[in-house]
Amino acid sequence: LATTAKSAEFFSIGTGGPTGVYFQVGNAICKMVAMIQSADHGRKSGTDKAYRCSAPSTGGSTYNIGQIMEGELQFGVAQSDWQYHAYNGTKPDKVKPFKGLRAVFSAHPEPFQILVGKKSKIKDWDSMKGKKVNIGNPGSGQRGTFEVLMEAHGVDTSYFSAASELGSSEQSGALCDGKIDAYGYTVGVPNAGVSQATDGCGASIINLNTDAVKKLVADKPFYEWKTIPKGTYKTSKKDIKTFAVMATVVTSADVSEDVVYAVVKAVFENLDDFKGQHAAFANLDPKKMIKYGLSAPLHPGAVKYYKEKGLM
């Protein structure tokens, strides 16, 4: 019974809005950490620490990175573009430069999606001029990426008649109610929030393949083209072409090797379970997860596991 006196170590994974995919990623990880702990119980007790994991809803990517830097969160989910900019200090006005940022693995692709209301008459980027547009809450990945998109097109929020800052769980309701004409969201496919607007009130996702977007994809290592296949939502009658980033799990160099090792072990040893938790995770491939979309160095606790498993 002496072995039950293990000290519990708590850690948190920052996610995104409650209707997003990050929230599912974070909570799936915590579930796997709990599973592996109970599987180990009795065998390794006394040597293993007991980990307690929580994955609260947060403002999103850049909020998570900032909180990891402050030591308030130990892990977070973040878009690959914001991981890159935080580590390299290349967009200090949007995400604080953070050399201590470490990559853990990447998860699902996240196409940047502009959702437009049924009666908005918006069909492409140019027809967004003068419309009421939700550019996303500060701290979210889509907010920063939307700003990059505006800069790339040589405009700012004055291009729209109104620019709101609603969070991801409020924007579909606002679109359906006609309070806004469009919103931008970087999120895995499919997503419940997006289907609330598409299947729910006839909103659709526009193609984003302007010359400015082509230049972004050509110039930046963290952007790629993505097709949202026709039939994904009721209103996606044709394939939709837009640019995408990756959802990645990040941590700090200050987080212990043991904790990061425990997290990657839990995820990689339960990968089939993870894939089954959400359609956006269906194509997860361990070889890609340890490399793709990662620009900060891998945390040593992750490297230790990947080497043991022959992935590196």
List contacts with ligand GLU (CB under 6 A).
Answer: 16-17, 20-22, 60-61, 79, 110, 140-142, 168, 186-188
If you ran DSSP here, which 8-state letter would residue 49 be given?
P
β-partners of residue 45 are 48
Of the pair 13, 36, the CB lying nearest ligand GLU is at 13
Report the nearest approach of ligand GLU to the CB of residue 193 (Å): 8
Quote the tokens at residue 267. Answer: 């995820």
If you ran DSSP here, which 8-state letter would residue 48 be given?
B
Question: What does the alpha-carbon distance between residue 142 and residue 95 come to, in Å, rounded to a whole number?
Answer: 13
β-partners of residue 189 are none
Report the nearest approach of ligand GLU to the CB of residue 61 (Å): 3
Question: What does the alpha-carbon distance between residue 200 and residue 171 come to, in Å, rounded to a whole number?
Answer: 13
Report the nearest approach of ligand GLU to the CB of residue 155 (Å): 22
Non-local CB neighbours of 222 within 8 Å, separated by 6+ positions: 80, 81, 83, 84, 245, 246, 293, 295
Of the pair 115, 187, the CB lying nearest ligand GLU is at 187
Report the nearest approach of ligand GLU to the CB of residue 22 (Å): 4
Of the pair 37, 172, the CB lying nearest ligand GLU is at 172
- For 125, the 3-state DSSP assignment is coil
Of the pair 36, 246, the CB lying nearest ligand GLU is at 246
Quote the tokens at residue 162. Answer: 């109104």
Of the pair 61, 235, the CB lying nearest ligand GLU is at 61
Report the nearest approach of ligand GLU to the CB of residue 131 (Å): 22
